[in-house]
A and B are shown apart, each in its own frame.
Chain A
Amino acid sequence: MSRTTLDLWVGFFVAIGIAALLFLALKVGSFSGVQMEQTYQLQAKFDNIGGLKVKGPVKSAGVVVGRVTDIRFDPDTYEAVVVLAIDSRFTFPKDTFASIYTSGLLGDQYVGLEPGGDERKLAAGDTVFKTQSAVVLEKLVSQFLFNKAAEGQDQK
């Protein structure tokens, strides 16, 4: 086979390889972390974080505004300390409420931020004081059963 046809075929091969990689990069995958180059850190203390994981999303009004970067246990207060990296384009008031929600019925857990009305803003390194723990399904079920049992006794 002559040199030029060989080059043509190898060029074609490499070109469709690159096209496939572009397809995987743009259509199939996403570059997470690229749009959040600059972040600042906030802390939040929860009684119970449920199934929250490091790298989980932080959402406000349903939009991803940051990521969970670290989860520690505080041995003094017996609380979970969750470190949040928030996109530095966004600032939140001092009295922002942080809660742990579940996306869908059995989906991943994420931290939801609900801004309050305070004029002062949270700065890097600040702690969010108003938090609400994750809903633990077993607790809900046992509460429900307990209430049902109590109702049954009242009727007697």
Chain B
Amino acid sequence: MLNPVNLLRQLGSRMVEGIWRLGYATRFFGAVLLNSGAALRRYPLTLREIYFSGVLSLIIIMVSGLFVGLVLGLQGYEILQRYGSAEQLGTMVALSLLRELGPVVAALLFASRAGSAITAEIGLMKATEQLKAMDMMAVDPVARVVVPRFWGGVIAMPILATLFSAMGIFGGWLIGVVAIGVDDGSFWSQMQASVEFGHDVWNGLVKSFVFGAAVALIAVFEGYDSEPTAEGVSRAITRTVVTSALAILALDFVLTSFMFRGTS
């Protein structure tokens, strides 16, 4: 039955649960940072996680970057040649990739490729009581399992975003210069004239670092907090992808409004 009091009660309990989870996640983040020192000294564990979340995401990141660049080249040329400024194609491709598309799309792909894997792994470890077993052996599961995965993601993400942007610019060059025939020299020189390393490239790197930290934290937290059942793990993976995507887009808006506020 549709009972307004019941609805209100459900809404209230949802909100309280959300705030409770937020507080728990913050405390968890604190624990991850506190345990970072000890875990990073055992760097082979982190290296292994960089391999799993970074190296294994290489193919998807590079291929998607290439295709995004190809599309940007086609669409950008289509619009720019209406104003007779097709030489600006390089500028358009490079700026849109470096500032927005590179960090954001790479982070979205990273969340669905590596974030979901991290959540599944930790969730399954919890469901099969491996985490409890570690605790019994006086091995802190946060330091042994969670922290290497977190830092692996944080380190891999900027590298992946950089590769995404570089491949995208290469794709834009392929379409613009090789296929359509925009002048090679003006493509690069116009790009260099308007892309500034300290402003555009660096802010893109900062963005991807923040996204990497957000995605990695959400992934390890959802895995660690998942219900230890098959259904619970699957729900945790879904939450990882959804929450990461929302967090990336919201953070992107906040960071962009700080970094690129009307100047230049």
Binding site for B on A (CB under 8 A): 1, 3, 6-7, 9-10, 12-14, 16-17, 20-21, 23-25, 27-33, 53-55
A17 to chain B, nearest CB (A): 3
Kindly list chain B residues whose C-beta atoms are within 8 Å of the C-beta of A9.
Answer: 51, 55
CB-defined contacts of B193 to chain A, threshold 8 Å: 30
**B contacts with A, residue count (CB < 8 A):** 33
Could you say which residues of chain A place their CB within 8 Å of the CB of B165? 20, 24
Minimum CB–CB distance for B104 against chain A, Å: 17
Inside 8 A of B69's CB, which chain A residues have their CB? none
Task: Flag if A31 contacts B197 (CB, 8 Å).
Answer: yes
The reply to whether A25 and B201 form a contact with Cβ atoms under 8 Å apart is: yes
Task: Judge whether A29 and B192 touch: CB under 8 Å.
Answer: yes
Chain B binding surface, main DSSP class:
helix
Query: Residue on A with the closest CB to B84?
Result: A105
B215 to chain A, nearest CB (A): 17
Q: Give the chain B neighbours of A30 by CB distance below 8 A.
A: 192-193, 195-197
Pairwise interchain contact A14-B159, C-beta atoms closer than 8 A: yes
The count of A-to-B residue pairs whose CB atoms sit within 8 angstroms is: 78
Known contacts A9-B55, A31-B198; is-contact A20 B162 (Cβ 8 Å): yes
8 A Cβ contacts from B176-206 to A: 188, 191-193, 195-198, 200-201, 205
Other 13 A-B pairs with CB < 8 A, given A3-B44, A13-B55, A14-B159: A6-B47, A13-B51, A13-B156, A17-B159, A17-B162, A17-B163, A20-B167, A24-B162, A24-B165, A29-B197, A30-B192, A30-B193, A54-B263
Residue contact B58 to A29, C-beta cutoff 8 Å: no
8 chain-A/chain-B pairs, Cβ below 8 angstroms = A20-B165, A20-B167, A24-B169, A25-B197, A28-B94, A28-B169, A29-B98, A31-B197
B162 — which chain A residues lie within 8 A by C-beta?
17, 20-21, 24
Query: Do A28 and B47 touch across chains, with their CB atoms under 8 A apart?
Result: no
Complex formed: what's the CA distance from A53 to B262 in Å?
A: 11
Task: Identify the B interface with A (CB < 8 A).
Answer: 44, 47-48, 50-51, 54-55, 58, 94, 98, 156, 158-160, 162-163, 165-167, 169, 188, 191-193, 195-198, 200-201, 205, 263-264
A29 touches B47 (CB 8 A): no
Give the complex CA separation of A7 and B55 in angstroms. Answer: 11
Contact B48 A28 (CB under 8 A): no
Instruction: Please give me the residue from chain B that is nearest to A57 by CB atom.
Output: B193
A31 vs B58: C-alpha distance in the bound complex, in angstroms?
28
Q: In whole angstroms, what is the CA distance A6 to B158 when docked?
A: 20
**Which residues of chain A are within 8 angstroms of B264 by Cβ–Cβ distance?**
53, 55
Report how far A39 CA is from B249 CA in the complex, Å.
Answer: 41
| Shortest Cβ gap from A69 to chain B (Å) | 13
How long is the Cα–Cα vector from A54 to B263 in the complex, in angstroms? 9
A20 touches B166 (CB 8 A): yes
Asked whether B58 lies within 8 Å of A13 as measured between CB atoms, the reply is yes
- Asked if residues B55 and A24 are in contact (CB atoms below 8 Å), the reply is no
Do B98 and A24 touch (CB < 8 A)?
Answer: yes
Docked CA distance A53–B98 (Å): 23
Bound-complex Cα distance A145 to B158 (A): 57
In the complex, chain B residues whose CB is within 8 Å of the CB of A14: 159
- Given A6-B51, A13-B50, A55-B263, A29–B196 Cβ distance below 8 Å? yes
Residue of A nearest to B189 (CB): A30
Q: Are B166 and A10 in contact (CB under 8 A)?
A: no
Contact B169 A7 (CB under 8 A): no
B263 CB to nearest A CB, Å:
7
The 7 closest A-B pairs by CB, nearest first: A17-B159, A20-B166, A29-B197, A29-B195, A20-B162, A13-B55, A30-B192
